[in-house]
Amino acid sequence: MRLPHKLFIAGIAGATTVLSFAPFYAWPLTLIVLVVLFSLWSGATTPRQAAAIGFSWGLGLFLAGVSWLYVSLHVYGNMPALLAGVAVFVFCCYLALYPALAGWLQARLKVPPLVRFLLLMPAAFTGAEYLRGWVVSGFPWLIAGYSQTPSELAIAPLAGYAPVVGVFGISGLLALTAGAIVVASPKLSGTVLPVARRRALFITTAIVWLGGIVLGAYQWSAVSGKALSVSLIQGNIAQHLKWREDQRAATIETYLELVEQSHGRLIVLPETALPMMLHDVPSHVLAAFRKKAIDNEGDLLLGIAYVDKNAPAQAGYDYYNGAVSLGRSPGQRYAKQHLVAFGEFVPPMFSWVYQWLTIPLSGFTPGSASQPAMQLAGHRVGVNVCYEDTFGAEIAGPLPGAELLVNISNMAWYGRSLAADQHLQFSQMRALETSRWMLRSTNTGLTAAIDEKGRVVKSLPQFARGVLEVDVIPRQGTTPYIRWRDAPVLLLLAAALLFSVIRHHRRTI
């Protein structure tokens, strides 16, 4: 097969991968696509050709999966259409460099077929995904392991490994399975294995997948108290109206009405619910929020930007995107610690980008990485803001102390796209990894309650105004992932790559 044909197939396979994520949840597609990618890599004649195949696969995945960034840049950020399109394409090209690196590495090292398909390829692919989630503040979107979260249609067997090895560990198991399928098929790998070895590969792979089902039935945490009534508010304030001065009063009135309708002991409002700094909120609004929370015998969590005038900064004060509590418990604050590059801050070398963007409240300061869980409505709650819940190791920070997790978001930036559904799926994975309920309060959706098994128990329709009333179960306990986070997976990846390097040098001496 000629290289252009391989690149075309790789690009189509990458784009098809999007169907394995929310809202489609066609999880077997991820395995099929990885089989295609690995078989194309096995047929590459040079490391450069393998890198090109990986790049084409990644470009297809990200152009199909994160093209919604165009909406935030052009429609709401006011960047010219052509420039926004170019910016998204360049960003997708950058993301595609990671699978390209994986392709180059697995082709560069000369190792036996079993080592290549069962160690080197899975380790290179998974390691590249981890790097993508870490370099330049990270963009861990559409990691292969996310495709294994449960849905109403089916339960993905590998989801059971989430409390043990997290999303990157599941990616590694998917890649390992794909490698086993390819090396066991002479037509895909060009390698003919003895029947006994192929049988052993089949049995081992079956054990891995059956192990996921067994682990999925295990309870990693225990109930720590009676059910807590929670009200999750979805204001549905259109992004193009959210920050307009003439709409401020209407927005405040909307949230006052929704809070008044709420029955939960814990009331949660979305990220930057009120379009102003905390010190600019009218006192009667905060008083009304506090009174309602006290009347409900609990607390209210308000997503809002605030300034810390006591914290010295290089120029002026420190501004935070976060949340504050009002109600029976002492007042508490959370400051978002993992900010979005080009949304909430711009790296100094890219400051010129601002001349084309109009993004309100974009000069934020990151909060501390060691913020404890909040004490709300008699329970310990781990709070995170929007994009933060794509980082599993960081979400595990306030655990095992936290009994519940709460995410507040504003996905209105991305319009009617796949972004909100994909983000909901990432929250499902965080619930699985921590064996805790994850509660999501969003501006336009998807507002939802997710149980400790990653199942969406209840949700509001997108682009609808309302209050989601749900009884949630606080839980306690420590999963292996909470204790070790990504360290075991990283050690295994390093060991696999090191073993491959050693075998490469032995063959080339």
Query: Which is the catalytic residue, given 271, 388, 403, 433?
Result: 271
Distance (Å, rounded) from C-alpha 250 to C-alpha 252? 5
Query: 325: helix, coil or strand?
Result: strand
What's the start-to-end Cα distance of the chain, in Å? 32
Distance (Å, rounded) from C-alpha 96 to C-alpha 10? 12
The three-point CA angle 425-429-431 to 5° equals 115
Angle, helix 121-132 to helix 81-108, in steps of 10 degrees? 150
- Catalytic residue at 271? yes
Query: Which is the catalytic residue, given 386, 403, 433, 453?
Result: 386
The three-point CA angle 151-417-252 to 5° equals 100
CB atoms inside a 10 Å sphere around CB 82: 9
The three-point CA angle 434-62-336 to 5° equals 45
- Catalytic residue at 297? no
Query: Which is the catalytic residue, given 336, 344, 403, 433?
Result: 336
DSSP-assigned letters across all residues of 238-283: -HHHHT-GGGHHHHHHHHHHHHHH---SEEE--TT-SSSBGGGS-H
Question: From the centroid of its chain, how far is CA 415?
Answer: 18
Cis, bond preceding 270 (omega within 30 deg of 0): no
> Tokens 């080009």 sit at which residue?
342
CB 268 within 8 A of CB 231: yes
CB 150 within 8 A of CB 156: yes
- Catalytic residue at 336? yes
> Which ranges in 1-46 belong to alpha helices (H)?
3-16, 28-42
Structure token digits, residue 342: 């080009």
> Tokens 């590459």 sit at which residue?
44
- Closest by CA to 140, choosing from 431, 489, 438, 425, is 425
What positions carry a catalytic annotation?
A: 271, 336, 386
